[in-house]
Structure 1
């Protein structure tokens, strides 16, 4: 759908300005005719975007809930002064920062995908508006997932590092990197394709460059 709109905007640059707003005998502008001819494609892509946004919204809600709970119940018991006994050290700083990043990025991701639900899904929205929100939302979701995994690993390290239990820490680190790698493997092709078609040269410009 984005390619179709790019072709429309490319052709629009070649015709006089008044031709883009002139109505035909059916009292329809060129954009109205374009949207009518691509109605089924718009509806199909809108359903796909809504389903993707719904899945990502559920994921960010879970991540935000976990991060908020971890911020309240930090690792280590209270030392009587309102601070956990493990708060002094680099590992606790890593846990705090990564957990805060996970919480804020999850909230930001939720707002981004929430804005997708309120989009009117007009044909012109598929050119930049919707792809931009999807790209930003997926990147923010990756940041929140990565930060959550780092916070979880840091919490386990705080709990077990002093007890010298590498048998517990080593599998945790391996699984953490495995989860991040799996997410990148599953979502990176989609993200790369959207970034290429949104921020790169449009199909119209590519063909124009080849012909020249």
Structure 2
């Protein structure tokens, strides 16, 4: 669990850094006369702004959740509910941040390359779904194991009868 939290926190930090940089350097640039973004009135720019903000917030939340796992006292009671819940919500917020980052990338790509051929921006927007599906496929076994051990195996490590007789 500790190694998973370390790796996921590293990925969340990279996502937060990349999305922060993308939000500061907006696609299309800024109009010199009005100091407003050039594509402010386009729907794809609104999608970019919302998804970049959501990606930054969810990746920052994931960083804090994984940090709380790493800073945990690792007592026996923590492994029953606290740490599995934190890992579940950490993986969920990491997925949300990856999804929002991919949407932000697709909308920025669409803003930049929507002139001329529509085949390239639309195909990139569709191909953005592949990493999300791959993440779900690769993390499904971990996700199901955590949920199963948290909710279905309550008595696995807590026997109902006293095992030591005096």
TM-score by length of 1: 0.69
Q: Following TM superposition, where does structure 1 have runs of at least 4 consecutive aligned residues deviating by more than 6 angstroms? A: none
SS at match of 1:133: helix
**Do residues 178 (structure 1) and 137 (structure 2) align?**
no
C-alpha contact 2:48 2:104 (8 A) present in aligned 1: yes
Partner Cα separation in structure 2 for residue 156 and residue 165 of structure 1: 13
Deviation at 1:150, TM superposition (A): 0.2
- Alpha carbon RMSD of aligned pairs, Å? 1.7
Distance between the aligned counterparts of 2:146 and 2:72, measured in 1? Answer: 18
In the alignment, which of 3, 8, 23 is matched to residue 71 of structure 1?
Answer: 23
For residues 161-191 of structure 1, the C-alpha deviation after alignment (integer angstroms, 9 at most, x for no partner) is 1x13234224422431110000000112211
Q: Distance in 1 between matches of 2:35 and 2:135?
A: 37
Q: Aligned ranges for residues 1-212 of structure 1 at < 5 Å?
A: 49-79=1-31, 80-161=33-114, 163-200=115-152, 202-203=154-155
Max Rg structure: 1
Q: Which is further off, 138-147 or 71-80?
A: 71-80
1:142, distance to aligned residue in structure 2 (A): 0.1
Do the aligned partners of 2:107 and 2:125 also contact (CA within 8 Å) in 1?
no
Q: 3-state DSSP class of the match of 1:121?
A: coil
CA offsets per residue over residues 2-34 of structure 1, 9 Å max, x none? xxxxxxxxxxxxxxxxxxxxxxxxxxxxxxxxx
Gap runs ≥5 in structure 2: 161-166
